[in-house]
């Protein structure tokens, strides 16, 4: 069964460093998403991506964040200069279409900023 | 703004007990409603969904009915199993968009 994969499963970084979180969405999906969950808090939407551009983003997704689909399979989230409060579980998701279509989630990357 | 509120966990039950996990949402627009489940070490999986008022979503013995009058989407199961132990997330979409707003999640622990 096709699934969304994410690497690494756990990333530890120093404050101020750049990190890139990687995701491989399901191959025939066209819509891609990043969410995050700070420990003990809600899963929060960060950004959605379609047709090689951002279609929607939240207030959290400021200039420190960027997304890219560098090739036909990968979808990355870059945090340019990490802060302590960026420590969270980051989930990638993909869906075939927009609206109420099911989003398929990856297992997440736990980012720890020291 | 749009929000989802679900009951605090953990919910601890014995096998074969009846389960209810409450979820309410803000009534803006015409959202679709979802329940996702996360088993240990895995990603979020869609459990069931309902796209309009009075719809009932069901899967694997779980059910939830979209109640517009009470802005609720409570998850129920008549007889839980140990294998149902997981974290359950209620979520809503925004009208016309697929962005999801999640609740905090409710951990369910089922003992034999």
What pLDDT sits at residue B43? Answer: 80
Q: Which of B46, B98, B103 sits opposite A99 (nearest CB)?
A: B98
Task: List CB contacts of B13: < 8 A, sequence separation 6 or more.
Answer: B19, B80, B108, B109, B110, B111
> Quick one: DSSP state of residue A81?
S
Q: How many CA atoms lie within 13 A of A83 on its CB side?
A: 8
State the pLDDT confidence band at A102, using cuts at 50, 70 and 90.
confident
Judge whether A95 and A26 are in contact, CB under 8 Å: no
Q: Is B58 helix (H, G, I), strand (E, B) or coil?
A: strand
pLDDT(B40) > 90: no
Q: Do A48 and B98 touch (CB under 8 A)?
A: yes
Mean pLDDT of chain A: 92
What pLDDT sits at residue B97? Answer: 62
State the pLDDT confidence band at A59, using cuts at 50, 70 and 90.
very high
Q: Which of B32, B43, B51 sits opposite A108 (nearest CB)?
A: B43
What pLDDT sits at residue A1? Answer: 77
Tell me the sheet residues that pair with B100. B93
What pLDDT sits at residue B41? Answer: 75
Measured in angstroms, the CA of B51 and the nearest CA of chain A are apart by 7
């Amino acid at each position: 069964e096709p699934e969304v994969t994410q690497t690494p499963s756990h990333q530890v970084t120093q404050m101020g460093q750049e990190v890139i979180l990687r995701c491989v969405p399901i191959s025939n999906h066209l819509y891609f998403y990043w969410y995050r969950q700070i420990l003990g808090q809600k899963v929060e939407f960060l950004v959605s991506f379609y047709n090689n551009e951002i279609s929607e983003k939240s207030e959290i997704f400021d200039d420190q964040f960027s997304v890219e689909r560098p090739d036909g399979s990968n979808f990355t989230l870059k945090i340019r200069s990490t802060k302590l409060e960026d420590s969270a579980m980051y989930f990638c998701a993909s869906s075939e279409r927009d609206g109420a279509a099911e989003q398929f989630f990856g297992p997440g990357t736990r980012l720890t900023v020291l | 703004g749009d929000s989802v509120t679900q009951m605090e966990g953990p919910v601890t039950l014995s096998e074969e007990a009846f389960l209810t996990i409450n979820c309410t949402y803000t009534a803006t627009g015409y959202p679709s409603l979802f329940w996702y489940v996360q088993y240990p070490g895995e990603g979020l999986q869609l459990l069931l969904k309902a796209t309009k008022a009075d719809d009932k979503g069901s899967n694997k013995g779980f059910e939830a009915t979209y109640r517009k009058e009470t802005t609720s989407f409570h998850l129920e199961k008549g007889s839980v199993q140990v294998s149902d132990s997981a974290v359950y997330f209620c979520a809503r979409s925004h009208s016309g968009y697929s962005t999801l707003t999640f609740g905090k999640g409710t951990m369910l622990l089922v003992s034999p």
